Amino acid sequence: MVKYILKESELRSIINSIVSEELNNAINEGIGSVLKNTSGMVAKTVLSPFASAGDMFSKATDVLTGRDTISNATGQFFNGHDGKTKAQKQSERLAASKNISYEYGKPEVVPSWGNRLKLDAKREIVAPENSQLEWGSFGKHYHDEGDRMWNRMITNKENAILRVSGDDESKKARLLRKYKKILLGWLKDRDANYEVYIKSNNRI
């Protein structure tokens, strides 16, 4: 059996020849169609239908230039194109959850199909009932659980306005407009980050 085992350098040379030939064909036939017709692309498409030709070509290049090994590249394709184990992905999801909770508060979610979750619908956001200032409406946005982070944010801004403006009503009004603009920007950023977060962390 040993005599049939190829050294990695030999296998790299073989792959190099194949890729060079396919690239030459690509000039006349179009690189997209050529890559799709190679056995490597077919194999990867079966394993990961959503993987791109660019991923495949990039990994092949890494192997050919010595930046990666055949065994590692093969393992990554069979375990998922990112090469991450289930435990690593779970760890990353946990870290992402902690980060989003620290920055914006844990988002309100509702059950979706299967065992998935989705963000609860956007609803009107206003200042808490015990607010000392007239903020008005902030429009419709996603909410964090219990609005705890939102209430903390607006309370901090409100305390800053009252501390700096004192009895100066005109200054208070200017600061209110300024901080409301800041809070609106924060809510917009939070909406976008929640949508990115839920795409990778949407399982119960």
CA torsion angle 176 180 186 188 (round to 10)? 180
- Which pLDDT belongs to residue 95? 79
Tell me if the pTM is above 0.85: no
- pLDDT per residue as tens digits for the range 144-202: 999 999 999 999 999 999 999 998 999 999 999 999 999 999 999 999 999 999 988 87
Region for 97 from its dihedrals, namely left if φ exceeds 0, alpha if ψ lies in -120 to 50, beta otherwise:
alpha
For residue 115, name the pLDDT band (cuts at 50, 70, 90).
Answer: confident
- Which pLDDT belongs to residue 24? 56
Where are the chain's structural domains?
A: 2-79, 87-200
d(CA 182, CA 187): 9
- pLDDT per residue as tens digits for the range 39-72: 444 444 344 444 444 555 455 556 555 556 555 5
